[in-house]
Structure 1
């Protein structure tokens, strides 16, 4: 005949087996999820490598020069002239104006200035 301790031990053993099964099932599901994430990460890395290779092909100087020659009339690109390059000291300094100050005539004059960006006004 079964004693009370036998019944308690059998119940504990069945509970432990059920807990072990549940833990194993959850860990396998998480392992599959991690595998899927690792696969997605690898696909993203491969896509990034492909985009970098594509970018390096698209930005080759010889290709850009050909495109500049083809679309020169539309873009109106001109070579940089030596007089357009200036030292830092030669650039004029803009007056300080607080952000909340109203825009006055001197700022308006600066905005109407037709100096080409990067060039030196003469």
Structure 2
């Protein structure tokens, strides 16, 4: 009901505009990837654009969360320095947390890989595939 009134009046808050921008930034690479899959382009180009698409999706998710938390604080239509600092702090927290999580899983995977005994090709048989 509120959204239909806003559309009729043409009055959108800053939060509404920022959320729309965050959603639209994530949909563009998805459509490009769909087109590239249909055209069967080079694998390297597809992999590069897929990585960029995943990064855009992650940024859109974090940005949407930051904007929603800004709106919950009751900031209204003014985006002041406290809201900006809160958003920057949230981004830095997600950046550091995801880096640490990736590092921890990398170390665990490396320890498992290095501690297991190597399998030579002569130990494998056609009756027992990996």
**Shorter-normalised TM range:** 0.3 to 0.5
Using the size of structure 2 for normalisation, the TM-score is: 0.31
Bigger RCO of structures 1 and 2 (CA < 8 A, at least 6 apart): 2
Name the TM-score, length of structure 1 as normaliser: 0.33
Which has the larger helix fraction? Answer: 2
